Amino acid sequence: MCFMAPTYQLSSVDGPCDQWATAVTTPRPAGQRGSRSGVPPLLPGNHQRADRQRCARNDSDQLTTTSSASNLLQPATGKMGLKTTIIGTVLATLAANPATAAQPRAARPIPAPMRDLVWGKLNFLHTTDTHGWHAGHLQESQYSADWGDYVSFAEHMRQKADDLGVDLLLVDTGDRVEGNGLYDASSPKGKYYYDIYKEQDVDVICTGNHELYIASTADREYERTVENFRGRYVASNLDYVKGDGERVEMAQRYRRFRTKNQGVEVVAMGFLFDFGGNANNTVVKRVGDVVREEWFQRLVREQEKPDLWLVIGHVGVQMEEFKTVFGEIRRWNGDAPILFFGGHVHVRDATSYDERSFAMASGRYFETIGWMSVDGAIKKAEEDPKGERGLSFHRRYIDNNLLGLYHHSGLNASTFHTEHGKNVTSMIAKARKELELDYTFGCAPQDYWMTRSPYPGPDSIYTLLEEEVIPDIAVNPKRKDVPRLVIANTGAIRFDIFKGAFTRDSTYITSPFLSVLNYISDVPYHAAKKVIKLLNNAGKIMADAHMDNEFMAIPEQLSTRESIIYDTPANPFSEDGIQKPMGQHGHEEPFLVEGYTTRDDIGDDGDDALHSRINFYVVPNCIQSELSFPEEGEPETVDLVFFNFIQPWVLMALKFSGAVYTDKDVSLYVEGTFTELFAGWIEDNWPAKC
Ligand SMILES: O=c1ccn([C@@H]2O[C@H](COP(=O)(O)O)[C@@H](O)[C@H]2O)c(=O)[nH]1
């Protein structure tokens, strides 16, 4: 085994970090307080700061690690062997210097036993569904590196590829926006994001559905990101409608290029799944139709074949859209390697459609940087050492934290951070400061989870909403005594709430959308009460009416349909005799941070860092609060209140219940977006004392 047992002291992990949190309280000017019925100050104002419990601060010395394995982390001096297949389990550890980049208030990474990257002739780094988290996860140590750190990492990995004479390509598969204050808190949205994002040298990039929900977002995608990555942005099934009505390709349909070091000829395409919720300034073509279009057929049948097909897409790797594209390319391209990079489903996943294809998806929220490598007979007519056309593929899900990035680049805190990377980190810090993303609305008294604890239950964010938040915010003063059913889709909530400071950033992290509460008045109760059941349990009936209920829930449930509950969320090191690399008996077992323990079609060795397991409890598509109901008996009629995002489903469910309504019957129930109302609720109910 290629590791040595470290001894380490993890004083930051369990103890509350309140003890070193600095609370700087600045009085807020009059008029900036939110109220239950009013709209709180989501735009920057004065702020309070406090660190979250359990977060480790960079400038403290709470986590010290001494390691006899530190020799493994010396800067890389030699070249990496191309044929390395051993997955070395080593322990990434803190170098002598504390982390020098990442965001100033980001949690410090905690050492974890690591699996190495396997390099091949062609290597890829992949991001997807970053949703504005380019500052990294300030409260979660294992995902706390930022976009600037990724810039440094990519620069080193490209250098390594050059040294080895192999190639490295960067890909991004969309949903870069919506979901974090860095994107959502500015006016206009993305004021800082576009310039930060473009600092990464991405080779192939495409669009996600979140770039298209709102017309102005799609405009900015076309004007900024497509422009910033012109020649590298591919939009195989997407058109853009300009202000004057002219319909054009969002970007080129495909990209044909040769790799820098080996001259591998690549044809790259970029797809979006069959999405129907886009604003009317874009046109998403169904993938099944596009593969029959003349340009696609000409490309896949062309005499002059590329060496390799690279299909990126905002598409889950198990979704039909990718299988359709694969089938059509393979039909005309006998044994060409076909690689897929997907997203949308927010999970780590990998599969292969045949022995010369490979597909991976790299999670969500910039928690993961995906790594894929291909080795063997990539070029046309090339043969492997056995005289065959063999290919091998590897995938790795890199936890996005500095220790991992140091480890995989073979560098350390002193040698890792490039000037360019540090500048990007500074750009992010400046933007966060200008947006006052650390302004504290209140202090969460406990953690509230989306899927880590059961719904209903005391730790469920959905129970919090159903029982406490919605009853307070879903109030129309003129109709407050009218019985009402309030329905929220669970997909409207995007992230957990952690105990401690709930900041301006947290408001967008939890709920980035511009969702408002709409209603239909005086709906017969016998029909209204059936709606929640149809939304949650009648997937088939609704799907037959072309309303896919799954799209109201969180995207993770597109692939994880059953709860995954471990007897005891376990530390794999204490489980079996095989995985005890630290336990040269007599040594301490390592502390494992909770995190991804991925099992995909390839196996269960994809994650780079070993974690202890986390439960996943499936949640319903929608939750419902019953408010102002009579003490006894049932009301004749109710106001049916719902998030505007689910209006089409609600109208369809009402129709199935025998009550036909149209968009014309729907009005706004309460002023303000849900995000604003929720932030106001927090100000009123969770005093900012942390
Ligand atoms: O206004 C909105 C937009 C989206 N949602 C929810 O998000 C998912 C889609 O998320 P992805 O990140 O694209 O996978 C959608 O299915 C809804 O559940 C929303 O609630 N409101």
Query: For residue 210, which atom of ligand 1 is closest to its CA?
Result: 13
Atom 6 of ligand 1: nearest residue by CA position: 491
Residue 372 and residue 606 in contact, taking contact as beta carbons nearer than 8 Å: no
> What's residue 568's pLDDT?
64
Q: Is 71 exposed, middle or buried (0-12, 13-18, 19+ CB in 10 A)?
A: exposed
DSSP-assigned letter for residue 617: -
Q: Are residues 232 and 248 in the same domain?
A: yes
pLDDT in tens, 237-265: 999 999 999 999 999 999 999 999 999 99
DSSP-assigned letter for residue 449: B
Q: What is the residue-wise DSSP string for 24-59?
A: B--PPPTT----SSS----S-----B-PPTTPPPTT
CATH number at residue 446: 3.90.780.10
DSSP-assigned letter for residue 277: -
What is the spatial distance between Cα 167 and Cα 643, in angstroms, rounded to a whole number?
47
- Ligand 1 near 491 CB (within 6 A): yes
* 19 confidence band (pLDDT: 50, 70, 90): very low
On whether residue 397 sits in a domain, the answer given is yes
Q: Is the pLDDT of residue 40 over 80?
A: no
On whether residue 529 sits in a domain, the answer given is yes
Domain boundary among 395, 413, 433: 433
Q: Is 152 exposed, middle or buried (0-12, 13-18, 19+ CB in 10 A)?
A: buried
> What's residue 587's pLDDT?
52
What is the spatial distance between Cα 226 and Cα 233, in angstroms, rounded to a whole number?
6
On whether residue 367 sits in a domain, the answer given is yes
Q: Are residues 418 and 495 in the same domain?
A: no
Helix orientation angle between 419-434 and 147-164, rounded to the nearest 10 degrees? 160
Q: Is the pLDDT of residue 584 over 70?
A: no
Residues contacting residue 263 through CB under 8 Å, at least 6 positions apart = none
9 CB neighbour count, 10 Å cutoff: 11
Report the pLDDT averaged over residues 645-651.
97
Task: Measure 551 CA to ligand 1 centroid, in angstroms.
Answer: 7
**Which tops the pLDDT comparison, 642 or 576?**
642
Q: Are residues 121 and 213 in the same domain?
A: yes
* 571 confidence band (pLDDT: 50, 70, 90): low
Residue 96 and residue 147 in contact, taking contact as beta carbons nearer than 8 Å: no
* 385 confidence band (pLDDT: 50, 70, 90): confident
Helix orientation angle between 402-409 and 147-164, rounded to the nearest 10 degrees? 10
- Ligand 1 near 494 CB (within 6 A): no
On whether residue 590 sits in a domain, the answer given is no
Name the residue type at position 690: C
Q: Are residues 392 and 482 in the same domain?
A: no
> What's residue 689's pLDDT?
84
| H or E element, residue 358 | strand 357-362
List the structure tokens of 5.
């047992």
Q: 3-class SS at 104?
A: coil
- Ligand 1 near 492 CB (within 6 A): yes
Report the pLDDT averaged over residues 136-158.
97
Pocket-testing residue among 216, 315, 551, ligand 1, by greatest number of atoms within 8 A of Cβ: 551
On whether residue 194 sits in a domain, the answer given is yes
Report the pLDDT averaged over residues 430-435.
98
Atom 19 of ligand 1: nearest residue by CA position: 492
Q: Are residues 366 and 505 in the same domain?
A: no
Task: Measure 228 CA to ligand 1 centroid, in angstroms.
Answer: 26
Q: Is the pLDDT of residue 29 over 90?
A: no
Pocket-testing residue among 207, 209, 517, ligand 1, by greatest number of atoms within 8 A of Cβ: 209
CATH number at residue 375: 3.60.21.10
Q: Is the pLDDT of residue 84 over 90?
A: no
Residues contacting residue 32 through CB under 8 Å, at least 6 positions apart = 41, 45, 46
Pocket-testing residue among 346, 349, 365, 489, ligand 1, by greatest number of atoms within 8 A of Cβ: 489
Q: What percent of the chain has pLDDT over 90?
A: 77
Instruction: Residue 116: name the closest of 92, 93, 87 by CA.
Output: 87
Inter-CA distances, 69 with 7, 93, 565, 582, 616, Å = 9, 8, 34, 11, 34
Report the pLDDT averaged over residues 558-583.
62
Task: Measure 75 CA to ligand 1 centroid, in angstroms.
Answer: 43
List the helix and strand counts (H, then E) for the chain: 18, 25
Q: Are residues 331 and 478 in the same domain?
A: no
* 388 confidence band (pLDDT: 50, 70, 90): confident
Q: Are residues 386 and 429 in the same domain?
A: yes
Report the pLDDT averaged over residues 491-496.
98
Residue 344 and residue 314 in contact, taking contact as beta carbons nearer than 8 Å: yes
**Per the structure, how many domains does the chain have?**
2
Q: Is the pLDDT of residue 64 over 50?
A: no
What is the spatial distance between Cα 340 and Cα 639, in angstroms, rounded to a whole number?
47
Residue 194 and residue 427 in contact, taking contact as beta carbons nearer than 8 Å: no
Query: For residue 515, which atom of ligand 1 is closest to its CA?
Result: 1
Domain boundary among 388, 412, 433: 433
Pocket-testing residue among 552, 646, 673, 678, ligand 1, by greatest number of atoms within 8 A of Cβ: 552
* 42 confidence band (pLDDT: 50, 70, 90): low
> What's residue 546's pLDDT?
84
What is the spatial distance between Cα 555 and Cα 54, in angstroms, rounded to a whole number?
28
Inter-CA distances, 302 with 306, 329, 372, 502, 577, Å = 9, 11, 27, 56, 54
Residue 237 and residue 275 in contact, taking contact as beta carbons nearer than 8 Å: no
Q: Are residues 376 and 514 in the same domain?
A: no
pLDDT in tens, 437-474: 999 999 999 999 999 999 999 999 999 999 999 999 99
* 38 confidence band (pLDDT: 50, 70, 90): very low
| H or E element, residue 266 | strand 265-272
On whether residue 90 sits in a domain, the answer given is yes
> What's residue 682's pLDDT?
97
- Write out the residue range of the structural domain in which residue 503 sits: 441-561+619-685
**Which tops the pLDDT comparison, 6 or 417?**
417
- Ligand 1 near 238 CB (within 6 A): no
List the structure tokens of 332.
């005309």
What is the spatial distance between Cα 278 and Cα 213, in angstroms, rounded to a whole number?
5
- Ligand 1 near 504 CB (within 6 A): no
Residue 597 and residue 613 in contact, taking contact as beta carbons nearer than 8 Å: yes
Strand partners, 124: 169, 372
Max mean pLDDT among 543-557, 586-600, 625-639 falls in 625-639
> What's residue 293's pLDDT?
98
> What's residue 381's pLDDT?
81
Name the residue type at position 648: P
Residue 144 and residue 102 in contact, taking contact as beta carbons nearer than 8 Å: yes
Instruction: Residue 497: name the closest of 454, 534, 452 by CA.
Output: 452
On whether residue 167 sits in a domain, the answer given is yes
Q: Are strands 338-342 and 282-284 parallel, antiparallel or unpaired?
A: unpaired
- Ligand 1 near 175 CB (within 6 A): yes
> What's residue 531's pLDDT?
97
On whether residue 344 sits in a domain, the answer given is yes
Q: Burial code of 551-581, b = ≥16 C-beta within 10 A, e = fewer?
A: bbbbbbbbbbeeeeeeeeeebbbeeeeeeeb
Task: Measure 569 CA to ligand 1 centroid, in angstroms.
Answer: 29
Q: Are residues 306 and 427 in the same domain?
A: yes
Report the pLDDT averaged over residues 342-356.
97
pLDDT in tens, 404-418: 999 999 999 999 999
Atom 3 of ligand 1: nearest residue by CA position: 513
Pocket-testing residue among 210, 315, 490, 675, ligand 1, by greatest number of atoms within 8 A of Cβ: 210
Q: Please write down the HEC assignment for all residues of 370-388.
A: EEEEEEECCCCCCCCCCCC
Over the chain, what is the mean pLDDT? 85
> What's residue 688's pLDDT?
83
Domain boundary among 433, 451, 466: 433
Query: For residue 131, which atom of ligand 1 is closest to its CA?
Result: 12
Task: Measure 572 CA to ligand 1 centroid, in angstroms.
Answer: 34
> What's residue 543's pLDDT?
87
DSSP-assigned letter for residue 590: P
**Backbone phi and psi for residue 421, each to the nearest 5 degrees, phi listed first:** -60, -45
Query: For residue 553, which atom of ligand 1 is closest to its CA?
Result: 18
Instruction: Note the helical H segments in 461-513.
Output: 461-464, 470-473, 504-510
Q: Are residues 114 and 223 in the same domain?
A: yes
Q: Are residues 209 and 250 in the same domain?
A: yes
**Which tops the pLDDT comparison, 396 or 101?**
396
What is the spatial distance between Cα 465 and Cα 461, in angstroms, rounded to a whole number?
6
Q: Are residues 248 and 151 in the same domain?
A: yes
Report the pLDDT averaged over residues 30-45.
36
* 538 confidence band (pLDDT: 50, 70, 90): confident
